[in-house]
A and B are shown apart, each in its own frame.
Chain A
């Protein structure tokens, strides 16, 4: 048996009203990838914060290579060979990669930083682990994946032996996730110990040696990955059976075209053609999934449909009416509800209370007003209570700021609000991003419910699994064109992946790969 490099014994952390960690005991072995799996709020990040010295435990002890240690701050843990890559990067965009990496431990004399030497060291580290980073590039010019690798380099440069990753794949696209997994395995093979926090089970299964499942602050079990499968892990994490795909679908009349895009093109002000002659019809009673690698025109298409942008050419009609020149508000009024991708940026005003957020965008509708100008508190309260019941929004009080709620409950606020206006069409953009499994299945159920009620649902998602689980039809977007529209019958992930890379579409494969 391998050496136990870290032992956590009886770690307990109590926050007002919540036991975040309840006597958690856990061993990490030298040179393994150990996954911590659990739903959002299960206590994974708290536990790692304690290990890393960000928080102090109320009870329990930490042993490093058999010796009891106490980390008062990350400074201590870094000195002991730990390193953490946070979910939100801590980089200075205007600095170069090297400058970011050596920040706080600059090489050279007291007055002058020896950049050439630092750059050499960074380059060497990058090559050693196959990270492919240019040390002199500016961080602001790097993609998210590359920025993440800079974070990894940062802790490697600090001679970390134990690497903690907090939900590292939440910000990555499927392709990037694969590459990221390769990097982790390479790090392990060179002798590093890795703790991987995630609730995405496919990745957990793919790369871990062992997995520990945490639910509601307690360890459910620790097992070698060979002894569990994804379905079992999901059950352990949630504590009950979870079914994806949104539940039962009823036969509905889906002959009527709701949203009709005809020969629609979009060119930016700089003259870049983002969308090419798009023809697409969304019917009542169907979920149309838009699949595609990120950045193939999704954002422009979404913005045109919701009214933030206007097409340069072609027509866009909703229930036969031209909406191509309408603004956000008008299109909303016509009966289009939008679930935006970024909850914090576009979906919610985080400092507003839950009930205020539940009327956002409808604040000028008669149903919430008295004398035509004043928001009627009673009606706003009633609306909030009703939606809280219908959508099971869990919060301490409806007066709490929305920012205090968990991601899943924040998403429920948005869905509840958009559905409350009884729209005829819903555009859902990455509606389950960053949510845990319980919340994902809830969101999917609501989408299917809307479909069953004869509404049209347009689903943009980067998760192939989700597209395949939920859609009735799938349209593939590639380089601003709809290259394929398929019925979701017997389609495999691999096939869809190929279409997404332009194979069998109008583009040839070489061009797709060299993109």
Chain B
């Protein structure tokens, strides 16, 4: 490439090249994107196959199990509605991880931030007396602030004391979990019975249904999709997103270019926390309407799998979140009809993380397959 232009007189090359190259959409870029996609797809396929082998070892026909999983996820209109509702918090957990990763922060604390966000949003829904039109937005805002606050302490410790974010956020997950248990058992107890749960929130704080009975699709999906779009624009189109991405890839070069690296990492973690908090809120305000002990749905780890599979691309997060939502939703039917525990979905989720992380292995397989193809031709 370099050699071919080396001896052309510069005046000619200078005029020709740019105009020519600019009109064409970069096929190079498309190819790279295709490669990224196919790696994720192969990782997913490998996880499904490995999961199938595990099922076979357990003495279950993988095909029947997967068929019932599929049917439970997408087989009927109400199954689809369930899948959509399921994917709402997953989208936001995935987005939270993705944003953090863009800014080079691995936010394992999404789980805890999601719990605290949900709790704060829920309390605002129970105790604030506001007109309907602003009550819900205020609740969602509280949820985001809650998630952000829970991310703030690890972020601050990182900034001031250089404490590893991974450790602090993991610890904060536990703190969040037990704090929630304590609060719903002894502080914000429901007057109704022995449930370790809060009161139900007021009607004004609830998310309206997008499509009503019998499907009950939660309008939170709109907010989730909106969040995806906003995050996408923020990351890819704004100067702040540019700085965050630069920081995420090369801290030295960013610092040398005058970008404040610490501030960007701090910001990435706070935004990540806010998204996680919003995710918790959307679930609580959309379908549960109260907080209860043991509200720890494992969205954090799911979010990691979602973001990894999506290569931290916000738009792709939407697709992978759909996949995980479907699996979780279908798991119940699978458990009923084949006796495979719904926890099997977590196994597949773990497998996906493993296979996505073995990207180099997949690249190697693809290269080999390509070579064989060439040899045959």
Q: Do A394 and B246 contact each other (CB < 8 Å), given the known contacts A373-B239, A374-B239, A399-B28?
A: no
Is there contact, CB below 8 Å, between A18 and B242? Answer: no
What are 22 A-B contacts defined by CB distance under 8 Å?
Answer: A18-B1, A41-B3, A42-B3, A216-B3, A332-B257, A345-B250, A346-B252, A346-B253, A347-B256, A350-B249, A352-B245, A359-B242, A360-B246, A363-B243, A363-B246, A368-B239, A375-B238, A375-B242, A392-B13, A396-B1, A398-B18, A399-B29
Encoded as 1 (CB less than 8 Å from any A CB) or 0, chain B from 230 to 261 comes to 00000001111011011001101111111110
Q: Which of the candidate stretches A154-162, A381-389, A459-467 sits at the interface with the other chain? A: A381-389
Q: Do A385 and B256 contact each other (CB < 8 Å), given the known contacts A356-B242, A399-B29?
A: no
What are the 6 closest A-B residue pairs judged by CB atoms, nearest first? Answer: A361-B257, A329-B258, A346-B256, A399-B26, A216-B3, A328-B258
Given pairs A363-B246, A374-B239, 19 additional interface contacts (CB within 8 A)? A306-B256, A308-B255, A328-B258, A329-B259, A346-B253, A348-B253, A349-B246, A349-B250, A350-B250, A360-B254, A363-B242, A375-B239, A381-B22, A388-B17, A394-B2, A394-B13, A396-B28, A398-B21, A438-B6
Q: Any chain B CB within 8 A of the CB of A327?
A: yes
- A478 CB to nearest chain B CB (Å): 26
Is there contact, CB below 8 Å, between B239 and A364? Answer: yes
Encoded as 1 (CB less than 8 Å from any A CB) or 0, chain B from 21 to 55 comes to 11010101100000000000000000000000000
Q: Which residues of A contact B1 (CB under 8 A)?
A: 17-18, 394, 396
Output the nearest chain B residue to A391 by Cβ-Cβ distance: B14
Is there contact, CB below 8 Å, between A216 and B6? Answer: yes
Output the nearest chain A residue to B236 by Cβ-Cβ distance: A375
Chain A-chain B contacts (Cβ-Cβ < 8 Å), number: 113
Interface residues of A in 264-313 (CB under 8 A from B): 306, 308
Q: Any chain A CB within 8 A of the CB of B10?
A: yes
Q: Do A332 and B258 contact each other (CB < 8 Å), given the known contacts A388-B18, A398-B22?
A: yes
Q: Any chain B CB within 8 A of the CB of A322?
A: no
Q: Once the chains are docked, how many angstroms separate the CA of A242 from the CA of B254?
A: 35
- A403 CB to nearest chain B CB (Å): 10
Q: Any chain B CB within 8 A of the CB of A397?
A: yes
Interface residues of A in 329-351 (CB under 8 A from B): 329, 332, 338, 340, 342, 345-351
- B28 CB to nearest chain A CB (Å): 6
Partner of B22, one of A332, A349, A385, A400: A385
- B121 CB to nearest chain A CB (Å): 28
Q: Any chain A CB within 8 A of the CB of B5?
A: yes
Is there contact, CB below 8 Å, between A363 and B239? Answer: yes
Is there contact, CB below 8 Å, between B246 and A352? Answer: yes
Q: Which residues of B contact A216 (CB under 8 A)?
A: 3, 6
Q: Which residues of A contact B245 (CB under 8 A)?
A: 352
- B202 CB to nearest chain A CB (Å): 37
Output the nearest chain B residue to A390 by Cβ-Cβ distance: B14
Q: Which residues of B contact A132 (CB under 8 A)?
A: none
Q: Do A351 and B249 contact each other (CB < 8 Å), given the known contacts A18-B1, A338-B256, A385-B18?
A: yes
Q: Which residues of A contact B24 (CB under 8 A)?
A: 397
Q: Once the chains are docked, how many angstroms separate the CA of A317 from the CA of B191?
A: 70
Q: Once the chains are docked, how many angstroms separate the CA of A361 from the CA of B13?
A: 28
Interface residues of A in 388-432 (CB under 8 A from B): 388-389, 392, 394, 396-400, 406, 409
Output the nearest chain B residue to A350 by Cβ-Cβ distance: B250
Q: Which A positions have Cβ atoms within 8 angstroms of B? A: 17-18, 41-42, 216-217, 239, 306, 308, 327-329, 332, 338, 340, 342, 345-352, 356, 359-361, 363-364, 368-369, 373-375, 381, 385, 388-389, 392, 394, 396-400, 406, 409, 438
Q: Which residues of A contact B7 (CB under 8 A)?
A: 239
Interface residues of B in 180-237 (CB under 8 A from A): 237
Q: Which residues of B contact A346 (CB under 8 A)?
A: 252-253, 256
Q: Is the interface of A mostly helix, strand, loop or mixed?
A: loop
Partner of B252, one of A345, A361, A363, A409: A345
Q: Which residues of A contact B5 (CB under 8 A)?
A: 394
| Residue with the highest number of chain B CB atoms closer than 10 Å, among A345, A347, A360, A375 | A360
Is there contact, CB below 8 Å, between B255 and A217? Answer: no
Q: Do A340 and B249 contact each other (CB < 8 Å), given the known contacts A374-B239, A392-B14, A399-B26?
A: no
Q: Which residues of A contact B253 (CB under 8 A)?
A: 345-349, 360
- A157 CB to nearest chain B CB (Å): 30
Output the nearest chain B residue to A373 by Cβ-Cβ distance: B238
Is there contact, CB below 8 Å, between B254 and A349? Answer: yes
Output the nearest chain B residue to A303 by Cβ-Cβ distance: B256
Is there contact, CB below 8 Å, between A352 and B243? Answer: no
Output the nearest chain A residue to B240 by Cβ-Cβ distance: A373
Q: Which residues of A contact B260 (CB under 8 A)?
A: 329
Q: Which B positions have Cβ atoms within 8 angstroms of A? A: 1-7, 10, 13-15, 17-18, 21-22, 24, 26, 28-29, 237-240, 242-243, 245-246, 249-250, 252-260
Q: Once the chains are docked, how many angstroms separate the CA of A375 from the CA of B244?
A: 13
Q: Which residues of A contact B21 (CB under 8 A)?
A: 396-398
Q: Which residues of A contact B10 (CB under 8 A)?
A: 392
Q: Which residues of B contact A329 (CB under 8 A)?
A: 258-260
- A10 CB to nearest chain B CB (Å): 19
Q: Once the chains are docked, how many angstroms separate the CA of A356 from the CA of B29?
A: 14
- B210 CB to nearest chain A CB (Å): 30
- A64 CB to nearest chain B CB (Å): 27
Is there contact, CB below 8 Å, between A389 and B14? Answer: yes
Q: Once the chains are docked, how many angstroms separate the CA of A374 from the CA of B26?
A: 22
Q: Which residues of B contact A340 (CB under 8 A)?
A: 256
Q: Once the chains are docked, how many angstroms separate the CA of A65 from the CA of B17?
A: 48
Q: Once the chains are docked, how many angstroms separate the CA of A18 from the CA of B6?
A: 13
Q: Do A369 and B255 contact each other (CB < 8 Å), given the known contacts A18-B3, A352-B249?
A: no
Q: Which residues of A contact B15 (CB under 8 A)?
A: 389
Q: Once the chains are docked, how many angstroms separate the CA of A374 from the CA of B14?
A: 29
Q: Do A406 and B2 contact each other (CB < 8 Å), given the known contacts A361-B258, A375-B242?
A: yes
Output the nearest chain A residue to B15 by Cβ-Cβ distance: A389
Q: Once the chains are docked, how many angstroms separate the CA of A350 from the CA of B248?
A: 12
- A96 CB to nearest chain B CB (Å): 29
- A381 CB to nearest chain B CB (Å): 7
Q: Once the chains are docked, how many angstroms separate the CA of A400 from the CA of B31?
A: 12
Output the nearest chain B residue to A388 by Cβ-Cβ distance: B18
Is there contact, CB below 8 Å, between B28 and A400? Answer: yes
- A418 CB to nearest chain B CB (Å): 10
- B167 CB to nearest chain A CB (Å): 23
Q: Once the chains are docked, how many angstroms separate the CA of A102 from the CA of B15?
A: 56
Q: Once the chains are docked, how many angstroms separate the CA of A20 from the CA of B5?
A: 14
Q: Which residues of B contact A345 (CB under 8 A)?
A: 250, 252-253
Q: Once the chains are docked, how many angstroms separate the CA of A346 from the CA of B252?
A: 5
Q: Do A374 and B238 contact each other (CB < 8 Å), given the known contacts A216-B6, A389-B14?
A: yes
- A58 CB to nearest chain B CB (Å): 12
Is there contact, CB below 8 Å, between A328 and B3? Answer: no
- B371 CB to nearest chain A CB (Å): 11
Partner of B237, one of A306, A374, A399: A374
Q: Which residues of A contact B255 (CB under 8 A)?
A: 308, 328
- A436 CB to nearest chain B CB (Å): 10
- A338 CB to nearest chain B CB (Å): 7
Partner of A349, one of B13, B18, B26, B249: B249
Output the nearest chain A residue to B255 by Cβ-Cβ distance: A328
- A363 CB to nearest chain B CB (Å): 5
Q: Once the chains are docked, how many angstroms separate the CA of A338 from the CA of B256?
A: 9
- A453 CB to nearest chain B CB (Å): 20
Q: Which residues of B contact A42 (CB under 8 A)?
A: 3
| Residue with the highest number of chain A CB atoms closer than 10 Å, among B13, B18, B24, B28 | B18
- A53 CB to nearest chain B CB (Å): 17
- B124 CB to nearest chain A CB (Å): 30
Q: Which residues of A contact B250 (CB under 8 A)?
A: 345, 348-351
Q: Once the chains are docked, how many angstroms separate the CA of A340 from the CA of B3?
A: 27
Q: Which residues of B contact A385 (CB under 8 A)?
A: 18, 22
